[in-house]
Copies of this chain bind each other. A is one copy, B any other.
Amino acid sequence: MKRNVLIIGAGGVAKVVAHKCAQHNDELGQIAIASRSVDKCQAIIESVKAKESLKVPAEIKAYALNALDIEATKSLIRETDSQIVINVGSAFLNMSVLRACMETGAAYLDTAIHEEPGKICETPPWYGNYEWNHLAECQEKGVTAILGAGFDPGVVNAWAALAAERHFDQIDSIDILDVNAGSHGKYFATNFDPEINFREFTGQVWSWQNSQWTSNTMFEVKRTDDLPVVGKQNLYLTGHDEVHSLSKNLNVPNIRFWMSFGEHYINVFTVLKNLGLLSEQPVKTAEGLEVVPLKVVKAVLPDPASLAPGYTGKTCIGDLIKGTRDGQERELLIYNVADHEDAYAETDSQGISYTAGVPPVAAARLIVSGEWDAKRMVNVEELPAAPFLTLLDQMGLPTRIKDANGDRPWDQLA
């Protein structure tokens, strides 16, 4: 039975992960948290103490770590006796942290696809460029690596698996709808790391349509949906991690990801992109200083973690699934609604960090219980969905289903 968790990263999502690990430390064992800045780790630990999140008395330890340094990461895994690593640091770290896990035998969990600083939106499927190159090695070594175990990717993948198993004989389309109807009160801010946020939108938008990869540009394709609680929303076709694994693992010809954006976000994004300020490639100032414009944009924007105190409103994320069952066409929305203020009250964090940070802790609990200790590299849709969704119901992210028979908890019969 695996125990003891090392959290890598100290941003908004890591804070939620720390709170949630603390709430279940009777199962998870010792908790350690490591990032480049040990001060940020310490601040998270203070928050965990202030909220009295620890279920059983324990000391969470903070470590300074450059997680690109594989040997240092291996040493820390061994020093802390961690058998589970939750990687919620920058997406640039995945490959080195995964390598450290493969070499120490620790289970690996992350919430976003690997990225290289100088490249954006690589050829689909993205996982094929990095993570999936290690499928065989994980299998051989019996290393558990669960990729994309946040909300989206993560919970939305589990929903897709649930739908395929329980609700459809054949699925024609999965449209993942991601709406943040919250308000942070700032002129402009991103809800997670601006660098990663913008990198999602500056390249090609890859979607899986008619069983092939289709390329669009950002804000080219729009839809409007009337969703539970948050109401009518404009969503735009967006490239996203889960499309790249679901298209491989499920036999579904159309898989698309859609994100809600207001006019103001689109205007700011368009200005910055057209000026070249979202570029990941360095430019040289008149004074000869080499600098990546996107990193300067990140530096001037509010720290996503700082948005939490004043954030109001709700998120609604769902899988809108169409297909057939017993020869009948049917349509199903599997969704969750989360509240920014509730997230703050519980974890000192805003709702976007909350939805991303709770699921990997549920996944870690399932590794401890053995139900998800796959001893190979998997994406979430390859694992049993029900125990994951059951835990999430209890941990603050309840799943609901809406179809012709009404709106109800996911595990309640229609």
Contact = CB atoms under 8 A, between A and B. Distances in A.
Interface in A272-306: 272, 274-277, 279, 283-287, 289, 291-293, 295-301
Contacts of A292: 285
A72 interface: no
Contact of A275 (B188, B276, B293): B188
A267 interface: yes
A222 B268 CA distance: 24
Interface residues of A, number: 28
The oligomer's copy count stands at 2
A199 to B, nearest CB: 14
Contact of A300 (B293, B295, B298): B293
B298 A291 contact: no
A345 interface: no
A287 B295 contact: yes
A284 B298 CA distance: 10
A96 B292 CA distance: 32
Contacts of A295: 285-287, 289
- Interface-centre pick from A187, A267, A277, A298 (highest chain B CB count, 10 A): A277
Interface string A64-99: 000000000000000000000000000000000000
Given A187-B274, A274-B188, A285 B268 contact: no
Q: Which of A267, A274, A289 has the most CB of B within 10 A?
A: A289
Contacts of A279: 300
B301 A296 contact: no
A271 interface: yes
B275 A299 contact: no
A267 B271 contact: yes
A286 B294 CA distance: 11
Contact of A296 (B187, B188, B277): B277
Given A268-B271, A271-B267, A271-B268, A296 B291 contact: yes
A214 to B, nearest CB: 27
Contacts of A297: 275, 277
A14 to B, nearest CB: 15
A296 B298 contact: no
Contacts of A286: 195, 295, 298-299
A44 to B, nearest CB: 17
A136 B72 CA distance: 66
A64 to B, nearest CB: 14
Contacts of A271: 188, 267-268, 271-272
B299 A285 contact: yes
Contact of A285 (B283, B284, B287, B298): B298
Contacts of A291: 285, 289, 291, 296, 299
A297 to B, nearest CB: 7
A275 to B, nearest CB: 6
A267 B296 CA distance: 20
B274 A299 contact: no
B267 A283 contact: no
Contacts of A277: 277, 296-297, 300
Contacts of A301: 275
Given A268-B271, A271-B272, A277-B300, 9 more contacts: A195-B286, A267-B271, A268-B275, A275-B301, A277-B277, A285-B291, A285-B298, A285-B299, A296-B296
14 contacts: A188-B274, A188-B275, A268-B275, A271-B271, A271-B272, A275-B300, A275-B301, A277-B277, A277-B297, A285-B298, A289-B289, A291-B296, A291-B299, A293-B299
Interface of A: 187-188, 195, 267-268, 271-272, 274-277, 279, 283-287, 289, 291-293, 295-301
**Nearest 5 A-B pairs (CB), nearest first?**
A276-B300, A271-B271, A285-B295, A283-B299, A187-B274
